[in-house]
Amino acid sequence: MYGASMQGTVASYDAATRSGVLLLDDGTEMRFPARAFDASGLRLLRLGQRVRIDTDPDGEVVRVTLPTMI
């Protein structure tokens, strides 16, 4: 399954590449690849949208979902 989970805000999202940058609550920027977006089942993300981030043991983003989704 997925590793550690945290929340952040969408700082940028490129629909063409399905990748972007998230801003964590402590101000840290965290990039996410297309495969993390694809794993979410979402169709799009909006700037400023609150999301939950699942990471692997190395800290790489593996899934970006809505906070209400499990």
Residues 38-56: tens digit of each pLDDT: 999 899 999 999 999 999 9
pTM over 0.75: yes
Q: Evaluate whether the domain defined by 2-63 bears CATH number 3.30.505.10.
A: no
Percent of the chain with pLDDT over 90: 74
Upper half-sphere CA count for residue 50 (Cβ side, 13 Å)? 6
Residue with tokens 């970006």: 64
Tokens (6 digits) for 68:
């209400």
